[in-house]
Amino acid sequence: MPIAAFSDKKYLVVMLKDGGEDNYGTLISREPQHVAASMVARPSLAFNQSELDGTYAAARLAGTQFSLHPALQPLVQIWNSGEMAITHRVGTMFTNLAGIPIAEIREATNAFYTGSILFPSGLGAHDKQAFSTVSMITRDFVDTSGRPRAVAESGFLGRLAERFESFAGGSTIPMTILSGQIVPPSTLLAADGLTQGLSIPLAGGVFRRNWTGSATQEAALRRLDAVMVEAQTEPRMEAFRKANLVANEGVAFLQPVVEGGTGAYAVDQSFPGSPTSGWQGTMRTFARAIEADLRQPTLRRRVMLIGSRAGYDTHTAQGKTAGRLATLHADWAAGVVCFRDAMIRLGVWDNTLMIDHSEFGRTLRENGSFGTDHAYARDAFAFGGAVRGRGKDGSSGLFGQYPTVLSTSGTGTFDLVGGQAGGGALAPGISLEQYWDEPLRWFGADAADIADALPRRASFGESVNLIA
């Protein structure tokens, strides 16, 4: 895709909730049967009807049967502005489950890998499902003819970034910028030839090459820079060399972003307390990076920012209104709200799309340790000026099909009952290919890009229609 095709700047912000977010503790149905079933299945975690309709009524999503977890209540203002969308039952699929009679699914899935339904292996394993969800190519990838194809795992965002790499304007800085834990974003970005994005510490840290100001060290760095000019024949050494180039130029670009004092960037006004950690610190760093990028209008036309935060693997002591999940929710909601304010301040909110992601959802059933276990699909969130939220083009702001009846009667991961699997796991109704197709196209992907990034796209149905 030629650079001339992009006349504007766009920012794709991906928020990785590392560990598997509890969907039932994030988006909460107020339907009486759902509330009653939840109270039985997760007694220490569920909200009763009076709490949802009374105590925490401010977290209700207008025009729907749903409430947000009370700690997510700040997001309601974005919902009301029509800039937030929620898609039910997004998950890893091999073939399209939607529209297949439940009886057939149950019959097919009682025997693993038999019948017309194929499930990817590694479901419920953090890294494997992260691979299969974010990369959509795994070692057991089956092509359109049903033939197994040995393809090493790679990340669909990494593959897309490689196709867009020329948009860096000759810079070694890739269009992808990371913050947070290293491993999950690397997984997401992995692609042959693109070892990594440019990862940065959070604002408030230190990010420089000559830490001590030593003349000898400065000389050593100059010599090393000269060494790094020479391409390596050994592929891993070449990757190391490239990583050094990215790091070196990245420091020059991002050092002011990381080290600049409060007030150095207009977007700081959107982040009360100048957060330096968690989702709020990540979002502040991202907002600063975007402001810095806007000061260089001739450089990157597309920037992908990937943040992650661990802690969503809430097997124990998940907590209801206080505790691990509530803390994560509150931090995330504050980060999203502040970031939106910052983008509006910069005038690029309509050019920004924020999407959350987690390797899987969690069981409706609470375990004996007051936590929840690995499950399957989840409710996915998107924010941005271009998102088809409530009231836009007649949208309800909700996409996909939520289960009519909540139950934990299934006994295994693949024992599907009414859109749920064992333990009350949400079964996917929308494949990740369907879900991500539109955001990638909004970002500038054409048909060839989609074919590379989402090679199984054709196996599934219509897109979600998430973008206005």
Partner 1 sequence: MLDRRSFIKLGASMGAVTAAPAMAAPSKPAGASHVLTPTSVGLNDSRRFMDQATMGARPGEAAALTGSFSDWIEAQVALPYSQIDVPTMIARGFNNNPDPQNNVARMCIFARWCNEPAQLRMRVTHVLSQIICCAPSGWSNAVDSMLWWNRLAADAFGNYRSLLGLAVQHRHMGSFLNNSDNDASNGKAPSQNFARELLQLFSMGVHALNSDGSPARDAAGKPVQAYFQNDVDALARLLCGWGLPFGVYMPGQAGTAANGTMDVKPALAYNGPPVTFLGRTFPAIAAPTAADVVSRAQQCVDLIMAQPTTSVYVSKQFITKMVTDTPSGAYIRRVSAVFRNNGAGITGDLKAVVRAVLTDPEARGQSKPLSFGRAQEWSLSLVKVMRYAQMQVLSDPSSSELPGWAWSSGFGNPPLNVLGEMGQAPGTPVSVFNDYPFEFLVNGINAPAAALWSAPSIMASVARTMALSQSLTQPLAPSSMDATGRWNLSLLIAAYDRAYAAASGSETQKMASTIGAMVDLVNGDLNQGRALTATVRQHAVTFVQVDCAALAKREKLAWMINFIRCLPDSAVVI
* Cβ atoms < 10 Å from Cβ of 234: 9
Q: Which stretch binds partner 1 (CB under 8 A): 30-38, 100-108, 204-212, 452-460?
A: 204-212
Residues 89, 282, 137, 419: what is their CA dihedral angle, to the nearest 10 degrees? Answer: -10
Closest CA to 96 of 130, 125, 119: 119
Burial 35-55 (b: 16+ CB within 10 A, else e): bebbeebbeebbbeeebbeee
| Contact set for partner 1, span 156-185 (CB under 8 A) | 172, 178, 181-183
Residue (16 or 247) nearer to partner 1, CB: 247
CB of residue 372 vs partner 1: minimum separation in angstroms?
9
**Binding residue (CB under 8 A) for partner 1 from 62, 227, 448, 458:** 227
Pick from 156, 102, 106, 175: nearest CA to 405: 102
Shortest distance (Å) from residue 373 CB to partner 1: 5
Query: In degrees rounded to 5, what are phi and psi of residue 57?
Result: -60, -25
Q: How many CA atoms lie within 13 A of 109 on its CB side?
A: 27
Of 32-40, 49-57, 77-85, 136-144, the segment contacting partner 1 by CB under 8 A is 136-144
| Shortest distance (Å) from residue 38 CB to partner 1 | 15
Nearest distance from C-beta of residue 370 to partner 1, angstroms: 9
Question: What does the alpha-carbon distance between residue 442 and residue 210 come to, in Å, rounded to a whole number?
Answer: 40
Q: What is the DSSP letter of 194?
A: B
**What is the footprint of partner 1 within residues 406-465 (CB under 8 A)?**
412-414, 422-423
Report the chain's C-alpha Rg in angstroms. 22
Site track 280-319 with partner 1 (rule: CB under 8 A), x = hit:
------------------------------x--x-xx---
Count CB-CB contacts under 10 A for residue 17: 26
Residue number with CB closer to partner 1 (3 or 220): 220
Using the rule CB under 8 A, give the single segment among 43-51, 142-150, 274-282, 293-301 that binds partner 1. Answer: 142-150
Helix and strand numbers (H, E) in the chain are 13, 15
- Over the window 87 to 126, marking each residue x when it contacts partner 1 by CB under 8 A and - when it does not, the resulting string is -------------------------xx----x--xxxxxx
Q: Which of 59, 86, 93, 190 binds partner 1 (CB under 8 A)?
A: 190
State in angstroms the smallest separation of the CB of 201 from partner 1.
5
Structure token pair of residue 237: 């050494």
Measured CA to CA, the distance from residue 11 to residue 1 in angstroms comes to 18
Q: Which residue in 50, 169, 222, 458 binds partner 1 (CB under 8 A)?
A: 222
Neighbour-count burial of 396, counting CB atoms closer than 10 A to its CB (0-12 exposed, 13-18 middle, 19+ buried): middle
Measured from the CB of residue 429, what is the shortest distance to partner 1 in angstroms? 20
Nearest distance from residue 42's CB to partner 1, in Å? Answer: 10
Among 67, 176, 187, 352, binds partner 1 (CB under 8 A): 187
State which of positions 28-87 bind partner 1 (CB under 8 A). none
How far CA 375 is from CA of 81, 122, 240, 321, 353, in Å, comes to 32, 12, 37, 22, 27
Residues numbered 237 to 266 that lie near partner 1 (CB under 8 A) are 237-241, 243-252, 254
Determine if 147 is a binding residue for partner 1 (CB under 8 A).
yes
Separation CA 435–CA 430 (nearest Å):
7
Q: What part of residues 342-401 is at the interface with partner 1 (CB under 8 A)? A: 365-369, 371, 373-374
Binder of partner 1 out of 49, 55, 116, 232 (CB under 8 A): 232
Among 8, 32, 111, 127, indicate the residue that binds partner 1 (CB under 8 A): 127
Q: Which of 9, 139, 345, 441 binds partner 1 (CB under 8 A)?
A: 139
Q: Which is nearer to partner 1, 236 or 295 (by Cβ)? A: 236
Among 140, 259, 341, 350, binds partner 1 (CB under 8 A): 140
Least separation, in Å, of the C-beta of 290 and partner 1?
Answer: 18
* Choice between 353 and 426, CB closer to partner 1: 426
CA dihedral over 23, 27, 33, 38, signed as positive or negative: positive
Whether residue 374 contacts residue 358, with contact meaning beta carbons closer than 8 Å, is answered with no
Judged by beta carbon, residue 113 or residue 322, the one nearer partner 1 is 113
**In sequence order, which ranges of 232-323 are alpha helices (DSSP H)?**
235-259, 278-294
Phi and psi angles of residue 310, each rounded to the nearest 5 degrees, phi first: -85, 170
Give me the least distance between CB of 116 and partner 1, in Å please: 13
What three-state secondary structure class fits 86? strand
Shortest reach from residue 30's CB to partner 1, in Å: 25
246 neighbors 198 (Cβ within 8 angstroms): yes
Cβ proximity to partner 1: between 139 and 320 the closer is: 139
Beta-carbon-side half-sphere exposure of residue 429 (alpha carbons within 13 Å): 22
Q: 62 or 219, CB closer to partner 1?
A: 219
